């Protein structure tokens, strides 16, 4: 069902109206859990960026500005930024050892704005090793380390330890790159010689890491959209008869959901990319027609004549098939 006030907003400007997270009375727990998880991800990623902005270099040099957040059981446990408790201490170290030293973090999700480090001078321990030791279940990274000796190695080390790795969305990644532009510029200049000597080897590591992270993002997005598609009528006679209540309160993907899925396709193989584009086309077609139906007035009744149920069935089956294939990657 649409929440109070949604009808007025929709009718005032139906072209620009995008529904809020509308949970229908239908009992799709998977869809609800996915939507709740996405909301928590968004909250924690923005919180991590806010923490990163609080960083101050300990020696006026170009140091990374890093924020980190840990969440568990749908709640934020703690947050930290680089140098918060002691100058130069990494955000992950401050989070894990300074603020959550006695907490049980197994299975938790850590959001960090910079790829966790893989090397430190003795006796310091790399942040990747600390994350693995605490048995976190997932790490969401804002940007890869611009140091070519490190870039991608943190991702691969986490994945090797069976820790799921995801990336911040492109808009937040761009914001973090701008926030750390001086640090990035310094690393790119100092790495100039290194790139000439070992470009092939480092490129292979970086490409492998990017592909792995891209595939994870693709699977997550596909699962989210598949749960939505399976709540919509499938074009059969039985589902069309129940279309009134389903389409009135349908949970629809936002334009950002489809844009993100399309962009993610650029970081995976050609075959996965083709499947992704087919998914976007089919889901986009259905979304457009559901919004057209929802935009008809309550007095006029919902205009289901706008939907060709034969075409709808074709698009539904294509979306279900392609999204299922993506979730199995």
On whether both 86 and 124 belong to a single domain, the answer is yes
Query: What's the rounded mean pLDDT across residues 148-171?
Result: 85
Would you tell me how many other CB atoms lie within 10 Å of the CB of residue 272?
A: 21
Chain segment 120-138, per-residue pLDDT in tens = 887 889 999 999 999 999 9
292 in active site: no
Instruction: Compute the distance between CA of residue 280 and CA of residue 260 in angstroms, rounded to an integer.
Output: 10
Question: Do the strands 75-81 and 67-72 form a parallel or antiparallel pair, or are they unpaired?
Answer: antiparallel
Instruction: Compute the distance between CA of residue 16 and CA of residue 188 in angstroms, rounded to an integer.
Output: 42
pLDDT over 70 at 104, yes or no: yes
Is the alpha carbon torsion for 109, 111, 117, 120 positive or negative? Answer: negative
On whether both 238 and 321 belong to a single domain, the answer is yes
On whether both 164 and 290 belong to a single domain, the answer is no
- Total domain count, the chain: 2
Tell which of 152, 169, 190 closes a domain: 190
Query: Mean pLDDT across the chain, nearest whole number?
Result: 80
Pull the structure tokens for residue 16: 């620009």
For residue 268, is the peptide bond before it cis, meaning its omega torsion is within 30 degrees of 0?
Answer: no
On whether both 153 and 227 belong to a single domain, the answer is no
At 301 the pLDDT is 64
On whether both 23 and 76 belong to a single domain, the answer is no
Instruction: Compute the distance between CA of residue 187 and CA of residue 282 in angstroms, rounded to an integer.
Output: 43
Helix (H) or strand (E) holding 194: helix 192-229
On whether both 14 and 94 belong to a single domain, the answer is no
156: CATH: 3.40.140.10
- Confidence band for 311, pLDDT divided at 50, 70 and 90: confident
On whether both 128 and 166 belong to a single domain, the answer is yes
Chain segment 7-63, per-residue pLDDT in tens = 344 444 444 444 444 444 434 566 667 778 888 999 999 999 999 999 988 887 789
Question: Is 146 a member of any domain?
Answer: yes
On whether both 93 and 19 belong to a single domain, the answer is no
Tell which of 148, 173, 190 closes a domain: 190
What range defines the domain where residue 266 resides? 9-28+220-327
Question: Is 180 a member of any domain?
Answer: yes
Tell which of 190, 208, 235 closes a domain: 190
Pull the structure tokens for residue 208: 């492998």
Pull the structure tokens for residue 278: 């087919």
Catalytic residue among 51, 84, 92, 175: 92
pLDDT exceeding 90 applies to what percent of the chain?
A: 31
């Amino acid at each position: 069902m649409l929440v109070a006030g949604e009808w007025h907003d929709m009718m005032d400007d139906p072209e620009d109206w995008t529904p809020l997270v509308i949970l229908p009375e239908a009992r799709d727990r998977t869809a609800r859990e996915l939507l709740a998880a996405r909301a928590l991800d968004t909250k924690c990623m923005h919180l991590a960026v806010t923490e990163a902005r609080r960083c101050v270099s300990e020696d006026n040099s170009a140091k990374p500005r890093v924020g980190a957040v840990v969440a568990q059981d749908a709640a934020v446990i703690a947050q930290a930024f680089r140098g918060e408790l002691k100058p130069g201490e990494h955000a992950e170290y401050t989070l894990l050892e300074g603020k959550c030293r006695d907490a049980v973090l197994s299975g938790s999700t850590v959001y960090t704005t910079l790829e966790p480090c893989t090397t430190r001078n003795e006796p310091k321990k790399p942040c990747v090793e600390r994350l693995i030791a605490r048995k976190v279940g997932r790490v969401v990274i804002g940007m890869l380390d611009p140091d070519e000796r490190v870039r991608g190695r943190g991702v691969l080390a986490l994945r090797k330890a069976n820790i799921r790795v995801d990336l911040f969305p492109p808009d937040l990644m761009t914001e973090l790159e701008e926030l750390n532009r001086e640090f990035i510029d310094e690393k790119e200049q100092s790495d100039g010689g290194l790139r000439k000597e070992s470009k092939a080897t480092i490129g292979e590591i970086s490409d492998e890491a990017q592909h792995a992270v891209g595939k994870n993002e693709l699977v997550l997005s596909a699962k989210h959209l598949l749960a939505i598609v399976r709540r919509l009528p499938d074009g059969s006679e039985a589902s069309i008869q129940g279309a009134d209540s389903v389409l009135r309160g349908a949970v629809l993907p936002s334009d950002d959901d489809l844009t993100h899925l399309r962009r993610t396709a650029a970081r995976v193989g050609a075959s996965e990319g083709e499947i992704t584009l087919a998914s976007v086309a089919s889901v986009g077609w259905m979304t457009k027609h559901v919004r057209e139906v929802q935009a008809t007035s309550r007095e006029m009744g919902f205009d289901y004549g706008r939907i060709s149920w034969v075409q709808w069935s074709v698009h539904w089956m294509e979306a279900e098939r392609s999204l299922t294939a993506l979730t199995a990657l």
